[in-house]
Amino acid sequence: MERPEGDVPEDSRLDALMDGTPASQVEPALLPLKRLLEAAAAPGSPAEQQDGLVAALRAHGQASSPTVAARVTKQRTRKRWTIGAASAAVLLLGTATSAYAGVLPAPLQNFAHATIGAPSAAEAAADDSRDQRNPNGPAPATDSTIAPTPGGVTPPGAPDGTSWPATTPTPGANGNGNGNGNGVGVAKPKPTPSPSPKGNANGVNKPKPTPTPKGNANGVGKPKPTPTPKGNANGVGNTNGNGSRP
């Protein structure tokens, strides 16, 4: 059964009920509710007050005793030491990894070199510079001692007659290229020149299965990304096809 609209208690009167307005100031319609709330909030009976008190006092005594407090302090100290040791281990491991990667500042890198055999700062710097020259791959095995020889060939398309790198061809040198057109690919040196007509002389050609007949004047070719199966002028083509890719 719905109450008439006028009988619905206003919020302010309900707030007053909850805030402990005396029953004498409560309107008659709300008196039953007021009595109900008073009964619910009545002072605790002795049974309620004693319920669980013994166990709570025991827990309170244990928590307050010096031995328990000392044990808690000891546990906290042990926990702090454990966390500190774990943090130190992580830090050391990270530093060692950085040292072997060669990314530490020079003094630290040298210290790591002396203590744990990591690369020295100079070695790390050399590696860095090599990597910067050839960002596309591992450092190539350059050999700048290869001398130019007549008949060095250049793949077609070298526009200015120069090429990079300025390695000089050697007849029979087993040239290979990096094949990506950035000109960093270098010759795979052969210690003994071979009279074999295979292989171009500039050492920087892109590996091709067929010789390229066109060549430029200086005998050093500029690598070209698009292979053209044309032989070079002197008939010394790169036929070994053992180019290395970075």
Partner 1 sequence: MIGRDFDGVLARAAAGSSDDFARLYRDVHPALIRYLNVMAYEQADDVAAEAWLAAVTSLSAFSGTETSFRSWLFTIARNKLIDAQRKASRRPTTPLTEAHDRTGRDAADAADQVVEAFSTERALALIAELPKDQAEAVMLRVVVGLDVADAAEVMDRSPGAVRVLAHRGLKRLAQRLADEENHEV
3-state SS, residue 117: coil
Integer Cα distance of 174 and 31 in angstroms = 109
State the nearest-atom distance from the C-beta of 27 to partner 1, in Å: 11
Read off the DSSP letter of residue 5. Answer: G
- Residue pair 236/151 in contact by the 8 Å Cβ criterion: yes
Residue 198 DSSP code:
B
Euclidean distance between the first and the last CA atom of the chain, given in angstroms as a whole number: 88
**Residues at the interface with partner 1 (CB under 8 A):** 1, 3, 7-9, 11, 14-15, 17-18, 29-30, 32-33, 35-45, 48-53, 55-57, 59-61, 63-65
**What is the nearest approach in angstroms of partner 1 to the Cβ of residue 68?**
9
- DSSP label at residue 42: P
Q: Please, which residues have CB within 8 angstroms of residue 158's CB and are 6 or more apart in sequence?
A: 216, 221, 222
Residue 34 beta carbon to partner 1: minimum distance, rounded to whole angstroms: 10
Q: Among residues 36 and 93, whose Cβ is nearest to partner 1?
A: 36
Q: How far apart are CA 226 and CA 231, in angstroms?
A: 14
Q: 84 - beta bridge partners?
A: none
Reference 172, options 138, 205, 197; nearest CA is 197
Q: Which residue, 56 or 147, has its beta carbon nearer to partner 1? A: 56
Closest distance to partner 1 from the beta carbon of 80 (Å): 18
Quote the least distance from Cβ 73 to partner 1, whole Å. 13
CB of 117 to partner 1, least distance (A): 51
Q: Which of 43/135 has CB closer to partner 1?
A: 43
Nearer of residues 36 and 122 to partner 1, judged by Cβ: 36
**Residue by residue, what is the 3-state secondary structure of 127-151?**
HHHHHHHCCCCCCCCCCCCCCCCCC
If the CB atoms of residues 44 and 135 are measured against partner 1, the closer one turns out to be 44
In this complex, which beta carbon is closest to partner 1, that of residue 17 or of residue 173?
17
